[in-house]
Amino acid sequence: MNKPLWLQTLSNWVLGEDPHLRRHVLLVLITLQPYAVSVGVILHSEYLNLLPHDMAQALIQASILTFLGVFVLVRSGWSQRFADPVLTFPHALVTIALCMAAYAQLGENRGNVMILIAQTIVLSMFRLKPIQVLMLGVFTVLTLCGCVMWMALDPSANYPASSGWTHFLVGGSTLLTLSLIGKWVSDIRVRIGRQARELQEAVDTVKQMATSDMLTGALNRRMMTELAENELRLIERSGSAMCIALIDIDHFKHVNDHYGHHAGDAVLRSMAQHAQGQIRQVDKFARWGGEEFLVMLPSISATEGMNAIERLRMSVAQLEIPGYPQLHVTFSAGVAQAKVGEALEHLIERADEALYEAKRQGRNRSLLAQTELKSPSATSASSSEAMT
């Protein structure tokens, strides 16, 4: 169900339109709940005359300014430069410092502050690194210790030292234990995240191996066959045009025999990388086998397909092979325009006939395939002549 326009506008104004920014702003807004509770505790303490009016207002203003400051830094996008755009660690440190300031002033309501500190640690551990969670716990215990010492030594605080140190031991040990549990949870979260990334990398590698040729980085034969058959089905429904070009590198055996297979691999890689940079984004380029490549050119006529392959052929003739400046690559190609209802095997056979005819005529050229296959005997004769 679509949101009303006014609600969508308000949402974009508060959260932003970028999905990552919206998520980060939402995480900041979650902290409104403990802020609201802390303000309620302060107001209640003021009502019970446990807290002077001026101190209550100062604590409330500090809480509001802290939240608004973090919200503005995150909502403006300024914090996106950091590893943690939500600013969880500094936000938690300031929040705990404010809670300790309130702890020193709230008298009988001090227990509520300890709960708010614990809630801050729990909320933070799902964003912080394990060492940061532990640092947060140590900071909490140290500030609590300092707060208890200050109140115990200050006669005006009217704070019984014996009960204060008992409060510190119980509350401090509880908060430290909570931070250790938070560190353990954070360790698990980090480990699961790392395993998830490793699993995704493994899936991506397997996917690449299943769809790409490992030497050239081009699509492999299986993937190209699937894409070409899908395109032929689309042609059958819509009647749009599509061409394929079967490309064969000229004198590739000579390269392997005289310069070695490393040179042959370099030629194949350079050819594939160059060709993929020359064709359109919608075109598909695959290693078909050995030194043969197949190019699929959707939504293009025979004349346009020939022009595209000719441009590619002339640019490849100027290609420099890294590490082998003496090598110059050319190719022969057969281009065939698909017919409605034509099987992929038949389309490739027509392109293959044109390719062998191009080789028979002297190589380094592109020819357009006939609309029908030649007789088997003529095809065999042309193939034998081209290979000699």
Domains of the chain, first to last: 5-207 (no CATH), 221-387 (3.30.70.270)
The span from the CA of 175 to the CA of 41, in Å, is 20
Q: What is the band of 181 on the pLDDT scale with cuts at 50, 70, 90?
A: confident
DSSP 328: -
pLDDT for 379: 47
pLDDT for 334: 96
CB–CB of 286/294 below 8 Å?
yes
Q: What is the band of 156 on the pLDDT scale with cuts at 50, 70, 90?
A: low
Handedness of CA 62, 34, 177, 175 (dihedral sign): positive
Rounded average pLDDT over 61-73: 93
Give pLDDT tens digits for 8-21: 888 888 888 888 89
Give pLDDT tens digits for 270-318: 999 999 999 999 999 999 999 999 999 999 999 999 999 999 999 999 9
Give pLDDT tens digits for 35-65: 898 888 888 888 888 788 898 899 899 999 9
CB–CB of 130/191 below 8 Å?
no
Both tokens of 232, joined, read: 């032929």
CB–CB of 14/25 below 8 Å?
yes
Both tokens of 219, joined, read: 């699509």
The span from the CA of 137 to the CA of 118, in Å, is 9
Helices (H), the chain: 5-15, 19-30, 32-47, 53-75, 88-103, 110-124, 130-153, 161-211, 221-238, 252-259, 261-278, 302-316, 344-360, 376-387
Give pLDDT tens digits for 243-266: 999 999 999 999 999 999 999 999
pLDDT for 384: 45
The span from the CA of 42 to the CA of 50, in Å, is 9
The span from the CA of 36 to the CA of 143, in Å, is 23
Closest C-alpha to 164, from 179, 147, 183: 147
Judge if pTM exceeds 0.75. no
| b/e 26-57 (16+ beta carbons within 10 angstroms → b) | ebbeebeebbeebbebbeebbeeebbeeebbe
Instruction: Out of 46, 291, 349, 357, pick the active-site residue.
Output: 291
Has 291 been annotated as catalytic?
yes
